[in-house]
Chains A and B, each alone.
Chain A
Amino acid sequence: MSAQDLAADNKAPAATGPGKFARWLNKDGWKRLVTGAPYLWLLVFFLAPFFIVAVISVSAAAYSIPPFTMPASWAALTENVATNFGYLIDDALYYTGYLNSLKIAANSTVLCLLIGYPMAYGIARSSGATRNILLLLIILPFWTSFLLRIYAWMGLLGNNGTINNVLVWLGIINEPIPMMNTEFAVYVGIVYSYLPFMILPLYANLERLDTTLNEAAMDLGSRPFRTFVDITLPLSLPGIIAGSMLVFIPATGEYVIPALLGRADSPMIGRVLFDEFFLNRDWPVASAVAVVLLFLLVVPIMIFNHYNAKAEGVE
């Protein structure tokens, strides 16, 4: 269904009077309206922008408003591609940025899984009222400002921060340990912010699991740990995948956490893109950075969408 079809569908019956419009609406028109409005919105404001970014990534930077000129010829286009994407290969800032981001996002995902899985399991196996309260406690940070929760860690991790002050006061260390603006701080920030995103899909999955299978295995003499590895773990794989993608994909492009807690000399790619745009004002290179980032994330995004579609189908 193209955008034009939708527009035509919406207009034509209205012009022929209210009676006909109502009949059209009751027949099939309401379906078209229900589907068409959000579809059109997403095509314009979600899908189209990616194509525009792709076009700008092969444009040349210029001193104009907007600060780029589209390629006029095939030769100009290839030259722009070589210039804009050439930066990403030649300049260490970019490729180390990508590698850093992928590494930090992958490690954070594993850390979230290691902490989140036992928590989700514990919540899923607790009884009625306790479970609701624990679940609310997981959802609550989800609603509180992301920015402010990262800011809270700035007060904890600094050289004069709470953690160092307490450790010095206890006599465990003499000198404050530098923790702010390190990779460690970025890990803390990411795991802290994204832990609820790991726990919620895992919980939803573990809560639905049939415990009679575990009982059967136990009755047949399987030890608790074996039962967990052989039955619970494989059955909770969809939850693990969903949670991991919810952490890994946004964490790769994360800007706020590395900007506030991370090192300036080896930034993550989100920060590189942000600075390229706001400090260097180089729109074509910023777009090229975004295109490559999107390309790196296509596979994880497809896995996530596939899982979502499957979850839809099961229900």
Chain B
Amino acid sequence: MQKRSVFILSVLCFGFAFLYVPILIMMAYSFNASRLATVWGGFSTEWYGKLLQNDQVIDAALLSLRIAVVSATFATILGTLAGLTLARLGRFKGRTLFSGMISAPLIMPDVITGLSLLMLFVSLETLIGWPSGRGANTVTLAHITFSMAYVAIIVQSRLTSMDQSVEEAAMDLGSTPLRVLWDITLPIIAPAMISGWLLAFTLSLDDLVIASFTSGPGGTTLPMLIFSKVKLGVTPDINALATIIVCIVTLGVVLAGILMMRSERQRQLDEQRAQAEAAAPQPGIA
């Protein structure tokens, strides 16, 4: 027993080192004064200053943020509906196809998704004249499509782990299905919708391949810009940009994690209290 836990402990240490050391080294080199990205030449924040003056980077970042906000919002709406369908609406005609179309985007290679969406946009433009040209709009449509699947899975798993009896009770008491949806189901899945939105947001912000296929002139997103630069090699200003992005994301995820853990704990406490009250002998009955 002891031997195995030593083995598992060492794999855990190795695994986490493997996951984190490369990022930490890259962050350290973003403060390198030397232009040579891998030779240490003293501490400096010059690359951060240069980055903030680079209009190309700022423009691409703003475009990426805009696409990410819009696509995450639509993906959350559609994904929530899809999650509700899978978890609560039982069997219907075409359910197998539906659940297949929800889980396939999670694993579909980006090159296939990107190519096929581009072919769709080109064909639609030839046939009905929409979308005219490609750019931020087509990238947004593409991002909604692949990230709504992630939202759907998150919402669905939240719904299946929740007690359905509250919803049934409200129905029995004469509430309309829409009221139940609005007053009970939505508040229950709100945390899942928030994490779904955040995941859709970061997926959109991160996507290179699908955006490369579906974008057009004037639609250079931040990953596309970064990729065109890093193809030529490691540069200190990209190290700085990467450090900023990683720090923002880490902060966001840790904050969201803490908030969610806290609300989950509160919910468990409330449930325990409710159970304790229910179990306590009621004076009227006793």
Chain A contacts to B: CB under 8 angstroms: 1, 25-26, 30-31, 33-35, 37-39, 41-50, 52-53, 56, 66, 115-116, 118-119, 121-123, 125, 132, 134, 136-141, 143-149, 151-156, 158, 160-162, 165, 192, 195-196, 224-225, 245-246, 249-250, 252-256, 259-260, 270, 273-274, 277-278, 283, 286-287, 290, 293-294, 297, 301, 304-305, 308-309, 312, 315
22 contacts between A and B (CB under 8 A): A34-B81, A35-B85, A35-B92, A38-B152, A43-B101, A45-B120, A47-B97, A52-B120, A53-B116, A122-B9, A137-B16, A138-B19, A140-B253, A143-B252, A145-B223, A148-B23, A160-B36, A250-B110, A253-B112, A274-B209, A278-B212, A315-B161
Given known pairs A34-B89, A37-B78, the reply for A42 and B109 (CB within 8 Å) is no
* B11 with A153: CB separation less than 8 A: no
Sorted from nearest, which 4 A-B pairs have the closest CB atoms? A253-B109, A49-B116, A38-B82, A118-B11
- Point out the residues of chain B lying under 8 angstroms from A260, CB to CB: 230-231
A184 to B77, CA, bound (A): 42
- Does B58 sit at the interface, judged by CB under 8 A? no
- Point out the residues of chain B lying under 8 angstroms from A156, CB to CB: 22, 25
* B119 with A53: CB separation less than 8 A: yes
Q: List CB contacts (< 8 Å) of B1-29 with chain A.
A: 1, 4, 7-9, 11-12, 14-16, 18-20, 22-23, 25-26, 29
Contact of B115 among A143, A153, A287 (CB under 8 A): A287
- Point out the residues of chain A lying under 8 angstroms from B208, CB to CB: 146-147, 256
Other A-B contacts than A42-B148, A119-B12, 8 sampled, CB-CB below 8 A, are A31-B89, A39-B82, A66-B123, A115-B11, A154-B234, A162-B38, A253-B111, A277-B115
* B249 with A153: CB separation less than 8 A: no
- Point out the residues of chain A lying under 8 angstroms from B86, CB to CB: 312
* B242 with A143: CB separation less than 8 A: no
Nearest chain-B residue to A136 (Cβ)?
Answer: B257
Nearest-Cβ distance from residue A243 to partner chain B, whole angstroms = 12
- Point out the residues of chain A lying under 8 angstroms from B14, CB to CB: 115
Number of B interface residues in the complex (CB < 8 A): 99
- Point out the residues of chain A lying under 8 angstroms from B281, CB to CB: none
Contact of A118 among B8, B101, B119, B253 (CB under 8 A): B8
- Point out the residues of chain A lying under 8 angstroms from B111, CB to CB: 253, 255, 270, 273-274, 290, 293
Per-position 1/0 for B95-124, Cβ under 8 A of A = 011111111111111111001110110110
* B119 with A34: CB separation less than 8 A: no
A253 to B115, CA, bound (A): 12
- Does B176 sit at the interface, judged by CB under 8 A? yes
- Point out the residues of chain A lying under 8 angstroms from B92, CB to CB: 1, 35
* B249 with A143: CB separation less than 8 A: yes
Given known pairs A136-B254, A147-B208, the reply for A301 and B104 (CB within 8 Å) is yes
A125 to B110, CA, bound (A): 35
* A304 with B107: CB separation less than 8 A: yes
- Does B79 sit at the interface, judged by CB under 8 A? yes
Given known pairs A119-B11, A151-B242, A195-B15, the reply for A38 and B25 (CB within 8 Å) is no
Nearest-Cβ distance from residue A307 to partner chain B, whole angstroms = 9
Chain B contacts to A: CB under 8 angstroms: 1, 4, 7-9, 11-12, 14-16, 18-20, 22-23, 25-26, 29, 36-39, 78-79, 81-82, 84-86, 89, 92-94, 96-112, 115-117, 119-120, 122-123, 126, 141-142, 144-145, 148, 152, 156, 160-161, 176-178, 181, 198-199, 202, 205-206, 208-209, 212-213, 223, 226-227, 230-231, 233-234, 238-239, 242, 245-246, 249-250, 252-254, 257, 261
Nearest-Cβ distance from residue B182 to partner chain A, whole angstroms = 10
Nearest chain-B residue to A204 (Cβ)?
Answer: B157
- Point out the residues of chain A lying under 8 angstroms from B156, CB to CB: 312
A290 to B38, CA, bound (A): 38
* A254 with B109: CB separation less than 8 A: yes
Nearest chain-B residue to A157 (Cβ)?
Answer: B22
Contact of A39 among B98, B144, B160, B176 (CB under 8 A): B98
Nearest-Cβ distance from residue A238 to partner chain B, whole angstroms = 14
